Amino acid sequence: MLRPILAALVIVAAAGAACAQTAGDAAEGGELARRWCGNCHVVGRGSGTSPATGDAAPTFASIAAMPSTTALSLRAFLQTPHHRMPDFALTRAETDNLIAYILSLKAN
């Protein structure tokens, strides 16, 4: 009887820790996005095209609006090299902050 309760507590604690690890500071992420990503992407809530890349780089708002956009999918994307993007070496905190910012752009 006690074993299932302990197992459930461990699962809940692990889930809470995982959520805490992915929580970032959206304001810090927005600043990072403007500084590092703003040359190629429209990083604000608005739409438009980048002066440098036109429509080649999606807006952060359009990325946020995609049904497949989650913290996990963004983390996987940001940790995978892409031939058309610079290889930014983001720290875990910077990644968390950037993810929090992009997710903050989702329409409610």
Q: Is the pLDDT confidence value at 16 over 60?
A: no
Domain with 33 in it: 24-104
> How many structural domains does the chain have?
1
pTM: 0.74
Q: Are 70 and 19 in contact (CB under 8 A)?
A: no
pLDDT for residue 95: 96
Span 82-102, pLDDT tens digits: 777 877 789 999 999 999 999
Alpha helices in 33-88 (DSSP H): 60-65, 71-78
CA angle 83, 75, 86 (to 5 degrees): 25
Span 25-70, pLDDT tens digits: 999 999 999 999 988 899 998 777 776 667 788 999 999 999 999 9
Q: Is the pLDDT confidence value at 77 over 50?
A: yes
Alpha helices in the chain (DSSP H): 2-22, 26-32, 60-65, 71-78, 92-104
pLDDT for residue 43: 93
pLDDT for residue 99: 97
Q: What are phi and psi of 50, to 5 degrees?
A: -75, 140
Q: Is residue 74 part of a domain?
A: yes
Q: Is the pLDDT confidence value at 107 over 50?
A: yes
Q: Is residue 13 part of a domain?
A: no
pLDDT for residue 1: 53
Write the CATH number for 30. Answer: 1.10.760
Q: Is residue 51 part of a domain?
A: yes
Q: Is residue 77 part of a domain?
A: yes
